[in-house]
Amino acid sequence: MVKKIILDCDPGHDDALALTMAVASPKIELLAVTTSAGNQTPDKTLNNAMRMLTLLHREDIPVAQGNQTPLVKPLETAPEVHGKTGLDGADLPEPDFAVQEIPAIELIAKTLRESSDKVTLVVTGPMTNAALFLRVYPDLAKEKIDQIVFMGGAMGLGNWRPSVEFNIFVDPEAAKIVMNFGIPLVMAPLNVTHKAQILKNEIEEIGKINNPVAHAFYGLLNFFEQYHENPKWGLKGAPLHDPCTIAWLIDPEMFETDWMNVDVETQGDLTRGETVCDYYLLTGKPANTEVLLGIDREKFIKLIMDTMKSFN
């Protein structure tokens, strides 16, 4: 059965790869793309999503812009990771189609109303748009969203504060709304995404694939990998965070998972944005989240290589 999805993202190099994997997979129908502020400012993440869909020749997929800021605190972006444009490292085409005139939550609502089947909401950036949608259209969400699959959070070490991952850091209040809404959740935390690394020699393999999409990702992944060379991360390559969500939808067997309650700390001075994962079932709170913890990296990389080759 083809999975119908809406992708809410903040491209961002790994968001761009997740988007490309969704477009390329026969197992996924990408109904709409909405953009959030996170890796870069809202206008840049919107422009990046549209440039990617132009590169992929998928201007038929509607795109709408979402939040300008997080719900409570000012926006914090990540230019040190994704560069000035948010997608540094490749010459991408300018968008050759128009953005939807409606905001993200209205495109999500329209898409859900028009779909005869339930839809999976995939979130690969801060959860602001998802939270706003759930607050404005709770009944439509319960009726037409079957699950929310998101990259974010960590069970333990963070990447933006000691115990806080970037997406949740940017908008913890939004994440708390989503985590406690009641729609089943699938979470790809840093615990799995730091195992989902692409190595430099594998990026070189992509460079040998002769089509414009692979050429673009050769540049994008080489740029993205640079930030992660700092030995403090203990990584051998670039962690492909957001693609884990799409890989799970395409082939869940690729992952080891565990169900548990996940909630978000929003008050702590040191821990605001920490995802609190009840791995040992200590709270008695409902297991609302399937957490991805292990990955078959070889299978994951093969999926990415096959995705690149599919544009030949």
Q: Which is nearer to ligand RIB, 19 or 31 (CB)?
A: 19
Query: How many residues are given for the chain?
Result: 312
> Does residue 241 carry a catalytic annotation?
yes
Q: Tell me how many residues contact ligand RIB (CB under 6 A).
A: 15
232 to 261, contacts with ligand RIB by CB under 6 A?
Answer: 241-242
136 to 175, contacts with ligand RIB by CB under 6 A?
Answer: 151, 159, 165-167
- Residue 165, contacted partner among Ca ion, ligand RIB, none, CB below 5-8 A by kind: ligand RIB
Q: Minimum CB separation from ligand RIB for residue 16, in Å?
A: 9
Q: Minimum CB separation from Ca ion for residue 175, in Å?
A: 13
Q: Which is nearer to ligand RIB, 10 or 225 (CB)?
A: 10
Q: Are 225 and 203 in contact (CB under 8 A)?
A: yes
- Judged by CB under 6 A, which of 39, 47, 120, 191 binds ligand RIB? 39
| Spatial distance between the Cα atoms of 182 and 164, rounded to a whole number of angstroms | 23
Query: Sheet holding 145-151: strands in order across?
Result: 63-65, 28-35, 3-9, 119-123, 145-151, 185-188, 289-295, 255-260
Q: Are 241 and 158 in contact (CB under 8 A)?
A: no
- Residue 84 has, within 13 A of its CA and on its CB side, a CA count of 0
β-pair partners for 275? 264
Q: Which is nearer to ligand RIB, 12 or 42 (CB)?
A: 12
Rule CB under 6 A: is residue 62 a binding residue for ligand RIB? no
Measured N-to-C along each axis, helices 297-309 and 243-250 cross at an angle, to the nearest 10 degrees, of: 90
Q: Which is nearer to ligand RIB, 109 or 293 (CB)?
A: 293
| Spatial distance between the Cα atoms of 73 and 65, rounded to a whole number of angstroms | 19
Residues near ligand RIB (CB under 6 A): 10, 12, 14-15, 38-39, 124-125, 151, 159, 165-167, 241-242
Catalytic residues: 241
Residues near Ca ion (CB under 5 A): 10, 12, 15, 124-125, 242
